[in-house]
Amino acid sequence: MWADTVSHTYRNSVQRAGGLPILLAPVEDEAVPTVLDRIDALLMTGGGDVDPDLYDGTRLKEMYGIDPSRDRFELTLAREAHRRKMPVLAICRGIQILNVALGGSLIEDIPKEIGSDFHSKIGQEVYETFQNVSIDGSCGLAALVGATELGVNSIHHQALRRVADGIHPVAWADDGVIEAIEADDPEWPLIGVQWHPEYLSEVADDPSRRIFAAFIANATRARVATT
């Protein structure tokens, strides 16, 4: 049986930062603008793989959790949020579907293509900072977390390949995998990370809590600007 769910770690992280989390269930494309009219910012969460047909990719046995209904909904959400310059925090699958929505493509399986096996650890390790990420010192993320080297967790076997127009990478893992993105347009408050700050936020990881605090601050500014 299918269900639309979200991990309590996302809910907790948004609430902890002062926001009110609202779960969005898939609706028809024409209803998406109405949905976005009722929220101040969009959190695009992790989850299963994006259908490779959407970016002319190759279907592999390593892929899992492909959900056409969710893909369609989130593609439309991402494109409309981009059009509106709505504040977005995109996490893991979130930056992948956003990249695809704007015309980019994905690495279908990191271990198969690159050979790295440290990107996907589950269990209690999701609450630990076991992977190193290097951040462009001139980007907004570096200023936000106060560092150009960051310890993060990692729960993914796919990543950005061809980066879409309108966004650019600002952080990388040691094997070159893209770990964070920002918008080319400084008027679009986009924070996109491949790791999972919602888990690290649970154990009081300061950079992770700063990411959610910035997301809620962006949402607040957007709300004020429209009232």
Cα–Cα distance, 92 to 61 (Å, whole number): 20
* 132 within 8 A of 189, measured Cβ to Cβ: no
Q: How many CA atoms lie within 13 A of 8 on its CB side?
A: 1
Name the DSSP letter for residue 30. G
Cα–Cα distance, 134 to 149 (Å, whole number): 5
Other C-beta atoms lying within 10 Å of the C-beta of residue 48: 13
Active site residue 128: no
Other C-beta atoms lying within 10 Å of the C-beta of residue 3: 5
Instruction: Find the catalytic residue in 82, 92, 108, 156.
Output: 92
Cα–Cα distance, 183 to 66 (Å, whole number): 27
Active site residue 156: no
The SS3 call for residue 49 is coil
* 159 within 8 A of 122, measured Cβ to Cβ: no
Instruction: Find the catalytic residue in 119, 156, 157, 196.
Output: 196
Beta bridge partners of 131: 152
Cα–Cα distance, 152 to 168 (Å, whole number): 20
Active site residue 139: no
* 167 within 8 A of 184, measured Cβ to Cβ: yes
Q: What is the dihedral of CA 195, 154, 116, 166, to 10 degrees?
A: -10
Residues catalogued as catalytic: 92, 196, 198
